[in-house]
Amino acid sequence: MLIRELRVGAGLSQRALAQRAGTSQPAIARYERGVATPSWETLQRLAAACGWRLGLDPEPLPDPGDIELAELLLGLSPIERLRALKRYARLREIATAKP
Protein backbone atom coordinates (compact mmCIF):
# COMPACT_ATOMS: atom_id res chain seq x y z
CA MET A 1 0.00 0.00 0.00
CA LEU A 2 2.71 2.44 1.08
CA ILE A 3 4.95 1.61 -1.90
CA ARG A 4 2.11 2.07 -4.36
CA GLU A 5 1.12 5.39 -2.75
CA LEU A 6 4.68 6.70 -2.91
CA ARG A 7 5.23 5.44 -6.47
CA VAL A 8 1.97 6.88 -7.81
CA GLY A 9 2.63 10.14 -5.93
CA ALA A 10 6.02 10.38 -7.62
CA GLY A 11 4.44 9.68 -11.03
CA LEU A 12 6.53 6.56 -11.61
CA SER A 13 5.67 3.30 -13.29
CA GLN A 14 6.63 0.08 -11.56
CA ARG A 15 9.41 -0.39 -14.09
CA ALA A 16 10.77 3.15 -13.58
CA LEU A 17 10.77 2.70 -9.80
CA ALA A 18 12.49 -0.66 -10.13
CA GLN A 19 15.24 0.88 -12.28
CA ARG A 20 15.77 3.77 -9.87
CA ALA A 21 15.87 1.52 -6.82
CA GLY A 22 17.99 -1.23 -8.36
CA THR A 23 15.37 -3.95 -8.24
CA SER A 24 12.99 -5.63 -10.67
CA GLN A 25 9.49 -4.69 -11.83
CA PRO A 26 8.03 -8.08 -10.73
CA ALA A 27 9.46 -7.50 -7.23
CA ILE A 28 7.69 -4.12 -7.05
CA ALA A 29 4.47 -5.74 -8.22
CA ARG A 30 4.76 -8.42 -5.51
CA TYR A 31 5.34 -5.79 -2.82
CA GLU A 32 2.35 -3.78 -3.99
CA ARG A 33 0.08 -6.84 -4.08
CA GLY A 34 1.20 -7.76 -0.60
CA VAL A 35 2.46 -11.20 -1.59
CA ALA A 36 6.05 -10.27 -0.63
CA THR A 37 7.41 -8.03 2.11
CA PRO A 38 10.46 -5.87 1.47
CA SER A 39 13.19 -5.60 4.08
CA TRP A 40 13.49 -2.28 5.93
CA GLU A 41 16.55 -1.38 3.82
CA THR A 42 14.71 -2.13 0.57
CA LEU A 43 11.71 -0.12 1.73
CA GLN A 44 13.95 2.86 2.48
CA ARG A 45 15.57 2.53 -0.96
CA LEU A 46 12.19 2.42 -2.69
CA ALA A 47 10.97 5.43 -0.72
CA ALA A 48 14.14 7.36 -1.54
CA ALA A 49 13.64 6.58 -5.24
CA CYS A 50 10.22 8.24 -4.89
CA GLY A 51 11.69 11.28 -3.13
CA TRP A 52 10.85 10.31 0.45
CA ARG A 53 12.84 9.42 3.54
CA LEU A 54 11.23 6.93 5.88
CA GLY A 55 11.78 7.32 9.58
CA LEU A 56 10.86 5.32 12.65
CA ASP A 57 8.77 7.18 15.14
CA PRO A 58 8.35 5.03 18.25
CA GLU A 59 5.52 5.80 20.60
CA PRO A 60 4.34 3.91 23.67
CA LEU A 61 1.55 1.40 23.25
CA PRO A 62 -1.71 2.82 24.54
CA ASP A 63 -2.77 1.57 27.95
CA PRO A 64 -5.82 -0.74 27.60
CA GLY A 65 -7.40 0.98 30.61
CA ASP A 66 -7.10 4.38 28.92
CA ILE A 67 -8.60 2.95 25.72
CA GLU A 68 -11.51 1.57 27.73
CA LEU A 69 -12.11 4.97 29.35
CA ALA A 70 -11.91 6.70 25.97
CA GLU A 71 -14.43 4.24 24.54
CA LEU A 72 -16.78 4.94 27.44
CA LEU A 73 -16.51 8.67 26.79
CA LEU A 74 -17.02 8.16 23.07
CA GLY A 75 -20.23 6.33 23.90
CA LEU A 76 -21.67 9.69 24.97
CA SER A 77 -22.85 12.32 22.51
CA PRO A 78 -20.61 15.43 22.22
CA ILE A 79 -23.00 17.55 24.33
CA GLU A 80 -23.11 14.83 26.99
CA ARG A 81 -19.30 14.80 26.99
CA LEU A 82 -19.26 18.57 27.42
CA ARG A 83 -21.65 18.41 30.36
CA ALA A 84 -19.72 15.52 31.88
CA LEU A 85 -16.59 17.68 31.72
CA LYS A 86 -18.31 20.32 33.85
CA ARG A 87 -19.26 17.70 36.45
CA TYR A 88 -15.81 16.09 36.49
CA ALA A 89 -14.07 19.47 36.67
CA ARG A 90 -16.21 20.30 39.71
CA LEU A 91 -15.40 16.97 41.36
CA ARG A 92 -11.70 17.45 40.72
CA GLU A 93 -11.82 20.95 42.13
CA ILE A 94 -13.52 19.66 45.26
CA ALA A 95 -11.02 16.81 45.55
CA THR A 96 -8.02 19.12 45.26
CA ALA A 97 -9.41 22.00 47.32
CA LYS A 98 -7.40 22.94 50.38
CA PRO A 99 -9.33 22.39 53.67
Partner 1 sequence: MTELDPEKLLRALVDREVDFCVIGAVAAWLQGNPSVTLGLDVMPRRELDNADRLAAALNQLGARRRGADERLELEGADFLGWETQSFDTDAGPIDVVPHAAAIGAFEDVATVELALGDFSIRVLTIDGVIASKEQLGRPKDTAALPALYATRAALRKRRS
**Given the rule CB under 8 A, which residues bind partner 1?**
59-63, 66-67, 69-74, 78-79, 81-83, 85-86, 88-90, 92-93
Asked if 21 contacts 46 with a C-beta cutoff of 8 angstroms, the reply is: yes
Report which residue type is found at 67: I
| Shortest separation between residue 85's beta carbon and partner 1, angstroms | 5
Whose Cβ is closer to partner 1: residue 11's or residue 99's?
99
Query: Using CA atoms, how far apart are residues 17 and 95, in angstroms rounded to an integer?
Result: 61
| Shortest separation between residue 77's beta carbon and partner 1, angstroms | 8
| Shortest separation between residue 29's beta carbon and partner 1, angstroms | 27
Whose Cβ is closer to partner 1: residue 36's or residue 67's?
67
Whose Cβ is closer to partner 1: residue 15's or residue 83's?
83
End-to-end CA distance of the chain: 59
| Shortest separation between residue 83's beta carbon and partner 1, angstroms | 7
What Å distances lie between residue 82 and 27, 74, 76, 77, 86, CA to CA? 52, 12, 10, 9, 7
